[in-house]
Amino acid sequence: MGLEHCHSIADLRALARRRLPRFAFEYLDGGAEDEVALRRACRSWEEVTLTPRTGVDVARRDPGVTLFGRRWAAPFGISPTGLTGLAWPGADLMIVRAAAARGLPVTLSTPATATIESAAAEAASHLWYQLYVPARLEIAFDLMRRAREADVDVLLVTMDVPVPGKRERDLRNGFSLPFRMTPRLMWDLVTHPAWSFATRRYGEPRFVNLLPYAPPDAQGARSLASFMAGQIMPSLTWDVMRQLRDAWPGHFVVKGVMHPDDAAQCLAIGADGILVSTHGGRQLDAAPAPLDALPAILRAVGGRVPVLIDGGVRRGLDIARALSLGAAFVMAGRPTLYGAGAGGEAGAGRALSILLDELDRAMALLGCQEIARLRVGRNPLPG
């Protein structure tokens, strides 16, 4: 099956699963522990029904929205993902280009496999940056400086990783950086030659944004991975977040908010937006679905800042569902990872085109000429 036969994100996932070594696919696909939170997030969308309205002229439909002072082609963007190069060598920049070509924002992660500067060179006007706050706060400030100098306006600060989640697929696969050449890994690589040869040409994925801060004896892949693991800040308090907010001149979004009291704290430090998220189900496996947490957070925020959401989005219809329940914007990470794994940059573009097409069809079937009509609740009204 080629990309031309992929008509859904599920199809892209199936193709990526065949093309990628098992350890690479399962790193991208898996969640924490028993993966209950991941499954819960995906299933939660099924429970949201939308009542279609008829007798509306939907010959012309506009999915565009304004967020953080600029117009986007649709009400969704790309969530940050770490080690994106596992999906395919160079996948970070492939996804950046695919998103920019379609007028969508794309978020580069601190543990990306492309630098802030290289991503900005591809599409600075569409680039957001996600900050993992390092244990050494001066590194955080310098990463923010680099993002500012690259003309990034929107900063997402992740708060829900005081320690890494227990991702058992990775443990069972013996996944590590650099790759440890066990017989099992060798067989995995030999049986997936396209990915293996591409990775050999491109180089193993590395946390390239952290290279300037690693000591001279930690420039190798193994030492750099250890350095990255040691940079997680378990004492990320609201006082620290206020310092970061004060230092960032652009739009400041807090990522990983699931409790209304935490949403109130975001407002108190001056955040410009909140991203309701469980880190793709990769942290606390008992966490509720972001969709289930959304109503209480919306009540706490009271419309003072935009509330974004991610987690389990696999259809354009899921985007419509989130907007109908009050989200201002939707983020999705795995769809473009599956796309890149299935077919490189063309696959990433295919994933976005599928979501855009499904959202457009949903608008027509619901009787909505514009996105604002989706925000009135579960029963969209005609204009």
Could you report the per-residue pLDDT of 264-317, keeping only the tens digit for each? 999 999 999 999 999 999 999 999 999 999 999 999 999 999 999 999 999 999
> What pLDDT sits at residue 379?
47
Give the up-direction half-sphere exposure of residue 190: CA atoms within 13 A in the CB hemisphere.
7
| pTM: predicted TM-score of the whole model, two decimal places | 0.94
Residue 234 pLDDT level (bands cut at 50, 70, 90): confident
Tell me whether residue 279 is one of the annotated catalytic residues. Answer: yes
Catalytic residue among 126, 192, 251, 279: 279
Find the domain containing 135 and state its range.
Answer: 3-376
Which residues on neighbouring strands pair with residue 55, listed in sequence order?
A: none
How large is the average pLDDT for residues 23-30? 96
Establish if 381 belongs to a structural domain. Answer: no
Q: SS3 of 220, please? A: coil
Residue 218 pLDDT level (bands cut at 50, 70, 90): low
Closest alpha carbon to 66 in 371, 374, 376: 371
Q: SS3 of 255, please? A: strand
Domain total of the chain? 1
Establish if 382 belongs to a structural domain. Answer: no
Q: In this structure, are residues 173 and 22 in contact, taking their beta carbons and an 8 Å threshold?
A: yes
Q: What is the CATH number of the domain that holds 338?
A: 3.20.20.70
Burial of 288 (0-12, 13-18, 19+ CB in 10 A): middle
Tell me how crowded residue 101 is: count the other CB atoms within 10 A of its CB. 15
Establish if 383 belongs to a structural domain. Answer: no
For the chain, what is the mean pLDDT?
Answer: 92
Establish if 50 belongs to a structural domain. Answer: yes
Q: Give the pLDDT confidence of 125-178 residue by residue, as tens digits.
A: 999 999 999 989 999 999 999 999 999 999 999 999 998 899 999 889 888 777
Q: SS3 of 308, please? A: strand
**Sign of the four-CA dihedral 344, 97, 32, 312:** negative
Establish if 147 belongs to a structural domain. Answer: yes
